[in-house]
Structure 1
């Protein structure tokens, strides 16, 4: 249901701030109990319960829409969704799973619930709910098929990208159903939104939490220019790795010195809020499509089945530990990610993405105004030991070798000029892109760690009734696209809230 002014005067059992991927999961699972009242707050629009009434750009799984975002015409790493369903409405519909190492790191920080075995039921639950499926054979274009052959030519075996395992090549699980992007709002709220105990409050900007004496007294949201206060027994922050940190900072939860400089009274000195920002940078290696490839892609586009990429390689860099991977090698062919080309011409290339970087960035406030853009510094390739630069160069070496395989030769000319892996550090930094997978800004960990923000249950240190429940609590980024891990994490955190309520 859509909230009315009258309903704002009433409290809820649970208020969820952020209607993205995690927020949709939390709202669905926590409203399953008809005795628990839940309010889901989303800054962007809710286009309604009938998916067919949603904007065509959000439904089209062939492209990456950029209308419902917080900022347009900005640095690529700042792009994030502002719509019910969050990033699942604007991303590439890919779902891959991380490595055993990821779960070891999470379990060390958050306890045994984050182990691979303990999270497996939640992974499976998310796969079912999102209607994830393998890539249909008809959706692989000639370049994708050739890239799979090229990966095998380089010695990579086939692996299941939807589970942990070994390095190798394969196709992701996808939430694209006959060309329709089946987002988290469809998957988790289709039935839940009609429950009388669930309120979906869209176009409502979460300003701050009112925190006094170590307890949350309310959540201030801005609707149609008015400030309204929502109250609850439990407050769940699920605004994403960038937005959740910003909300906590505006609420006086974060590094005290930074808060004072921004004109915000510190309520809890939590230095880790906005620290530990981790994303996955990458470099695109352009290739020259042959006439044969352009013709094949033109036919595929005419049939309505042209997808830029439907396969990848999990690879290990020269600095990667044994028996795992720290790179995604991503061959692509189709419409360019940015800009456009004349009809019948397409972009082709191979990207190398660094999946397990050691560099850490920050999210800070420019002002206390919730409408002001955040101060985001991803700090890509900034680690003093040079680990990330070395790993990225290894990835580009693999990309260069793949581009020169016999399998790809009929479809794309090899890269020209100096090999990317031999470019200077500054030249590589100038060519950096991102995989759009930020995590870590409200990281979970042991209480003795000064940079810890939450415990393994998502509870914020020193604040009663407040949890963070999204990608921001992952202390390390998984060696995967983050949507499936975040879906599974939100499923887990919803169960933890239920358990706490039952005690």
Structure 2
């Protein structure tokens, strides 16, 4: 296996080219690299803009290995607004997220089947979900990782009449715990799971610190991909190209390549090659508001003991609920109780942050991704457009979620651990204040959405093939036309497993 691009001549891949070049070494890219290189006669190249820290987990930076942290070191933009955070390292978001794996509802699959066909049903995707769970070593939350706060939150959910449910499969509203890709504090990221034992394959090349600039598209076919490494420009050539750069990166590569809304392309100096108006549109993320609470001395002491033992995690429990606007049997809100070190800022030793967030899982609002310039290093224009839907349904659903979070906080099990802060209830606060307090779940999807031939904004079909380009696919969260009512890591792993099998057939 090669990890060098030095000496690679322009317009020439190793050995004269590849069968498949995968652009993006995040969660989906790692799955694809493993599955597509299972055929020893298929030459596969995986390209990642960030570093590859090697085959041995113990050689990776401690913050990436630490499942208790949300590292923000190897990202595209430091000190950027929260909604812009995206990983720039082999393994992608699995190296920086909370190691949570949950699944959405049957209603999510119905939306996807309508856009991509029957292979996107819950039953059809189930084997790939199980395969991904096995490879990522997903496991239940160990008892010692449950803090007094998470135990209290589960007791509170029971007191309020919520049923306990399995969070890792299609189901119903209720409370439960996620499956974790973490083992004794080690974050088991996608690079460990899918590449560690595959690096010795002679037909698999991993190129790290290589930035994808643009695809060379002529007459409906990709003829090469221009990349940058250490200031030098090279071209990789393959029979098939797969974009796996995520909900921000994949549309950006298409736009730089002349694939997208023609008027926007012209405005940034890119010659339109294929006018696809949906590229970069339909950006959907899951915003939320955090309700801070005041921990009691007893809760602080208990959390300090957990931290000293190395078992303090800010959250190990989740409640999913349905607003009045939700489909029957589904849910559109995550109520997330957390307690531990603050995500932003710091507190004196022995003091912790406690509270409950309400996250909007099925927003109607739609944002977009656009280029500011045609250069690959230029920051993108990312407009999440949170709570912007004209009818105002998203804001109403969020308020309903805050009411449920306040109910949880007021229950006897949590009231004994933390008290509301003085002031007006969050569910009754003015719109502008709620907007100012918005955070994000970091689950962007939709910017290269799949759809049928009658959907003018669709970018790919149900097999992830890009419209108007015969040898280009997109396999990542950007192709989901609507978000799952879940964390997105497990669904993306499963869709990558599914589409890799389709490509290998």
- Provide TM-score, normalisation by structure 2: 0.98
**Which residue of structure 2 lines up, in the alignment, with residue 60 of structure 1?**
66
Deviations 1:144-166 (A, max 9, x none): 00000011111111000001111
Q: Secondary structure at the match of 2:499?
A: helix
Is the 1:292–1:410 Cα contact (8 Å) retained in structure 2? no
Contact 2:5 2:229 in 1 (8 A): no
Aligned to 2:172: 166
1:327 aligns with 2:328: no
Q: CA deviation at 1:5?
A: 3.1
1:7, CA displacement in angstroms? 5.0
The residue aligned with 1:338 is 344
Distance 1:247 1:129 in 2: 29
The structural deviation recorded for 1:311 is 0.4
CA contact (8 A) 1:285 1:420 kept: yes
Maintained 8 Å contact 1:351/1:399: yes
**Correspondence for 1:354 among 355, 360, 367:** 360
1:403, 1:415 within 8 Å by CA — same for their partners in 2? Answer: no
- 1:37 corresponds, among 43, 53, 63, to 43
Q: What CA distance in whole angstroms lies between the structure 2 residues aligned with 1:311 and 1:402?
A: 13
Q: Are positions 1:429 and 2:430 aligned together? A: no
Which of 262, 272, 276 is 2:282 aligned to?
Answer: 276
Q: Provide the secondary structure at the position in 1 that maps to 2:414.
A: coil
SS at match of 1:407: helix
Instruction: Identify which of 95, 99, 106 aligns with 1:100.
Output: 106
Structure 1 portions without partners, runs of 5+:
none
TM-score by length of 1: 0.98
Match of 2:488 in 1: 482
Alignment RMSD: 0.8
Residues 1:364 and 2:370 are matched in the alignment: yes
| Count of residue pairs brought into register by the alignment | 499
Residue 242 (1) aligns with residue 245 (2): no
Which residue in the other structure is 2:426 paired with? 420
2:457 to 451, 456, 460: 451
Cα distance in 2 between the residues matched to 1:244 and 1:458: 12
Residue by residue over 1:327-373, the C-alpha shift from the partner in whole angstroms, topping out at 9 and shown as x without a partner, is 00000000001111111000000000000001000000000010011
Is the 1:400–1:415 contact (alpha carbons within 8 Å) kept by the matching residues of 2?
Answer: no
| Inter-partner Cα distance in structure 2 for 1:15 and 1:196 | 15
Please give the secondary structure, in 2, of the residue aligned with 1:244: helix
Structure 1 runs of 4+ with >6 Å offset: none
Partner residue, 1:20: 26
Q: CA deviation at 1:4?
A: 4.0
Cα distance, 1:6 vs structure 2: 4.2
Q: Distance in 2 between matches of 1:339 and 1:406?
A: 30
- The 5 A counterparts of 1:71-470 are 71-470=77-476
SS in 2 for 1:219: strand
Alpha-carbon displacement from aligned partner over 1:451-503 (angstroms, at most 9, x marks no partner): 0000000000001100001000000000000000000000011011112xxxx
Alpha-carbon distance in 2 for matches of 1:126, 1:172: 15
Q: Deviations over 1:118-160 (max 9, x none)?
A: 0000000000000000000000000000000011111111000
